[in-house]
Chains A and B, each alone.
Chain A
Amino acid sequence: MSDYLSITPAEREAMLGKIGVGDVSELYADIPATLLKKKVKLSEGRSQQETFRAMKALAARNKNYDSVFLGAGSYNHYIPSVVKSLASREEFLTAYTPYQAEMSQGILQSVFEYQTMICRLTGMDVANASHYSGATAAAEACIMCADKTPKVVTFDNVNPDTLDTLGTYLSARKIELIVLPAKGGLATELPESVGKAGAVYLESPNYYGLIENVSAVAESGKAHGAAVILGCNPLSLALFKTPRELGADVAVGDGQPFGMPLSFGGPYLGYIAVTKDRMRKLPGRIVGETTDADGRRAYVLTLQAREQHIRRERATSNICSNQAHCALTAAIYLAAMGPQGLKDVATVCASNAHYLASKLESVGAKRFYNGEFFHEFVTVTPFKAADILRALDARGILGGLALDEHRILWCCTEMNTKEDMDAVVETVEATYANFV
């Protein structure tokens, strides 16, 4: 058995003596005897080396791929060594929430800088310190905006996990969720029948990778009295107009592309950014700048009157722990890449995706939707998606996501080489030949 204790048997005896008991069990005197009698099954522990071996064996049961064309909310990007190295510094990793500002200026400043970068990417005024994921960020943004008119409108082309999470969160708050069908993969203007709504939620790029005509949807949403919440892969914002410019009131999304490994779906990084008028309705921690008793610049957790530890059941949200270390990781990633590096990554992703899409088209895997896209797109084939994906798997390539029997959602990033993409094209061509 291993443990991480730091007390010798002699010290233990001395401590028990000081407390005035003979055995630790006496300290549990308040626990009813009937409970203590129920023995908890206690297994032996292992040495660190044995644990490492056992866990490594588990990890080895996952297949690692040479090239990944699967996205759909989890993106395989290059993580510069500087990001891992700095983020893993123990002062960041092993600290709690920065309740004690004087001892936590480093963490508070890193959050303040993160908030600033999210605001600059999205064009918004205020960002919170993070939320659990893009899905929960969207859900809480909807709750924030639908407090007066309990109705949220969205589309069936948003990420399905986000849609499912919206359903869970909104029904608990008795907020109606209307899911409109997309047309040609794109969100539409809101039909008259929708009536007055609290919020409209759309994504651009959407689940199919398509770039929405956000301004038109936003305008129609506003005509229904709705706040406009736009979900964005933040990497796309290196290139595209900001949510603010497109008419959004709230920007949300998942910051995983900024330096977080796939890690089987988490931990990732939900971000929420708003215009100034919604500042006091934001869920979660916010860091602000102030001065200390000597007039020096200092950072603190602020606007806490919104939060659960002050407002209890009247708080804007129940969130306490967030994804702080992921926000730190994203901030380091953005600082390390700089504006040019970030644009370059986004450009390579888009260039690769457009190359692959056109090559696939030439071998019989046509694009299912026509609109402009960022780094994901959907193909349709007369033969089975599963056959393509199986053939790719055999070559060590993780293909796209089968949306149904014949459609595949592909994703390209800067990690995919031309050789990998050509291998995908070749495999699809060969599958087609077998089919014919």
Chain B
Amino acid sequence: MQTLFEKSVAGKRGVTVAPPEVETYSFDESLLRTELDLPELAEVDTVRHYTALSKRAFGVDDGFYPLGSCTMKYNPKLNEEIAALPGFAQAHPLTRADKVQGSLAVIDTLNAYLAGITGMDAVTLQPCAGAHGEYTGLLVIDRYHKSRGDFKRTKVLVPDSAHGTNPASAAMAGFEVVSVKSDGDKGVDIEELKKAVGEDTAALMLTNPTTLGLFEKNILEIADIVHAAGGLMYYDGANLNAVMGVVRPGDMGFDVVHLNLHKTFSTPHGGGGPGSGPVGVKRALKPFLPTPAVVSTEKGLRYEKGKQSIGKVSAFYGNFGVYVKALAYIVTLGGKGLRASAETAVLNANYLRARINEFYPVGEQRYCMHEFVLSMKKLKDETGVTALDVAKALIDRGIHPPTMYFPLIVEEALMFEPTETESKENLDRAADALREIIQEAYTAPEKLHTSPHNAPVRRPDEVAAARNPVLRA
């Protein structure tokens, strides 16, 4: 498909702008640029271009999207309309607090809901994505230790099954990363943890349910070990969808939590963002949250600039337009709806897993949470068909592939997360598609090695893309 630049025709005009009602101002020529090479298109050309692009994309509204760890649930239309209400969309962030009580109430109310859901005492909505939340939470932890005169805590423990953002965020926050071995399906290896933890431990970062889609059974013991050494427990909320309304990270022993509103709380992911990554903390860490906080006063809601705060982690108050959608979602579902969603997410994952088990071994017969990891190693050993081949073959059947080759501790991993909004019929269809692909692996593997065959393009040459980068037209 042609690019915007190839479609450009010199002299074409898009949206016209009314001339100024006042005298046109001219800047000194020494300041001015001589060319502005942007595409020249009529409005209809722009419309056709982006409509064509949209047909070469695939969202949750198009079909099943079991991308593990990403919680691709349905994004309610209601929430889009609410975020676009002029009262919210036209509010300037620097307006005096007394004139934007609606926006401040959104922040205050959502903070309270998220604190309740996670079992935390205070929340900031400033972080713009999950990784940004991790970073913020770790800075808060660092500041907390230092405020107590404890300057030795330079290390953050991260299980080897963790998302890549965990160690990357710890490094960004100035910590040294210590990788802790996982004991397969059993989760964190307690003996390894005991060896790694010490008086230099700032925190342990943990995803629970784990990235294998299993609940960390020893969570209370793990929290005790870390706390006994003076470290804090950090909860990566990527997998909260399995347990929201059922159990709370705060009760599991976690001190700091980040959430992904674009996963768990249904805000659309927009092809890569914007997300929103609120951070919740226990009372002792509240003074260190990013500034400003929204507080209730006699005159109404106001901003408060905390003296011990880590400062700002982004402009203004983060991705307001995203978290207003999350608030609408929570208000609609209520606690009961959130719990029903979590339970159904777990039901759907276990059902799909049971269906797959009819024709391919799914591993140990322990119930998964909201997602499960399938190793395609057996298939690869027997047929040469890889997890990648299977993923690409799913594309030909109108299903977005699961997450591939993650977590790193499972060979030929495919991680399925169906989410609660998928129907039984869709899960059955996906299981049937997978059965068909696996049968084909034994009869005609060649076709799978070159799949997909029905997509706008076949497998792109990624090696060439990285070796000779073409990053702009």
**When the two chains form their complex, are residues B33 and A74 in contact, meaning their CB atoms are under 8 A apart?**
no
B325 vs chain A, min Cβ distance (A): 10
Q: Interface of chain B, helix or strand or loop or mixed?
A: loop
**When the two chains form their complex, are residues B274 and A2 in contact, meaning their CB atoms are under 8 A apart?**
no
**When the two chains form their complex, are residues A40 and B313 in contact, meaning their CB atoms are under 8 A apart?**
no
**When the two chains form their complex, are residues B14 and A91 in contact, meaning their CB atoms are under 8 A apart?**
no
Contact of A335 among B39, B83, B128, B367 (CB under 8 A): B39
**When the two chains form their complex, are residues B43 and A351 in contact, meaning their CB atoms are under 8 A apart?**
no
CB-defined contacts of B412 to chain A, threshold 8 Å: none
**When the two chains form their complex, are residues A40 and B15 in contact, meaning their CB atoms are under 8 A apart?**
no
Known: A24-B346, A105-B56, A343-B36. A263 touches B91 (CB 8 A): yes
Known: A74-B93, A82-B15, A174-B174. A168 touches B311 (CB 8 A): yes
CB-defined contacts of A313 to chain B, threshold 8 Å: 167-168, 170-171, 177
CB-defined contacts of A115 to chain B, threshold 8 Å: 471-472
Contact of B91 among A89, A104, A262 (CB under 8 A): A262
**When the two chains form their complex, are residues B33 and A242 in contact, meaning their CB atoms are under 8 A apart?**
yes
**When the two chains form their complex, are residues B346 and A317 in contact, meaning their CB atoms are under 8 A apart?**
no
CB-defined contacts of B39 to chain A, threshold 8 Å: 334-335, 338
* A-contact bits for B30-46, CB 8 A (1 contact / 0 none): 01110011111101001
Known: A59-B102, A262-B92, A288-B471. A102 touches B459 (CB 8 A): yes
**When the two chains form their complex, are residues B392 and A347 in contact, meaning their CB atoms are under 8 A apart?**
no
**When the two chains form their complex, are residues A323 and B316 in contact, meaning their CB atoms are under 8 A apart?**
no
**When the two chains form their complex, are residues B100 and A264 in contact, meaning their CB atoms are under 8 A apart?**
yes
A127 at interface by CB-CB < 8 Å? yes
**When the two chains form their complex, are residues A42 and B334 in contact, meaning their CB atoms are under 8 A apart?**
yes
A165 at interface by CB-CB < 8 Å? yes
A21 vs chain B, min Cβ distance (A): 8
**When the two chains form their complex, are residues A52 and B81 in contact, meaning their CB atoms are under 8 A apart?**
yes
**When the two chains form their complex, are residues B464 and A291 in contact, meaning their CB atoms are under 8 A apart?**
yes
B434 vs chain A, min Cβ distance (A): 16
Question: Which residues between 104 and 158 of chain A lie within 8 Å of chain B, taking CB atoms?
Answer: 104-107, 109-113, 115-117, 119-121, 125-127, 129-130, 132-136, 143
CB-defined contacts of A320 to chain B, threshold 8 Å: 129-131, 164-165
Binding-face segment, B191-199, B226-234, B241-249, B279-287: B241-249
**When the two chains form their complex, are residues B70 and A100 in contact, meaning their CB atoms are under 8 A apart?**
no
Among A90, A94, A304, A334, the one with the most B-chain Cβ atoms within 10 Å of its Cβ is: A94
When chains A and B are docked, how far (Å) is the Cα of A341 from the Cα of B215?
A: 55
CB-defined contacts of A267 to chain B, threshold 8 Å: 128, 273-274, 319-322
**When the two chains form their complex, are residues B401 and A351 in contact, meaning their CB atoms are under 8 A apart?**
no
Contact of B49 among A70, A168, A335 (CB under 8 A): A335
B51 vs chain A, min Cβ distance (A): 7
CB-defined contacts of A168 to chain B, threshold 8 Å: 139, 290, 310-313
CB-defined contacts of B452 to chain A, threshold 8 Å: 102
Closest A residue by C-beta to B17: A344
**When the two chains form their complex, are residues B462 and A239 in contact, meaning their CB atoms are under 8 A apart?**
no
Contact of B391 among A36, A100, A110, A116 (CB under 8 A): A100
A48 at interface by CB-CB < 8 Å? yes
Among A29, A30, A294, A351, the one with the most B-chain Cβ atoms within 10 Å of its Cβ is: A30
21 contacts between A and B (CB under 8 A): A5-B420, A19-B347, A38-B248, A40-B339, A60-B102, A62-B101, A96-B67, A97-B273, A106-B54, A117-B38, A165-B314, A239-B27, A264-B321, A265-B316, A291-B460, A307-B164, A308-B165, A318-B169, A332-B46, A340-B13, A351-B23
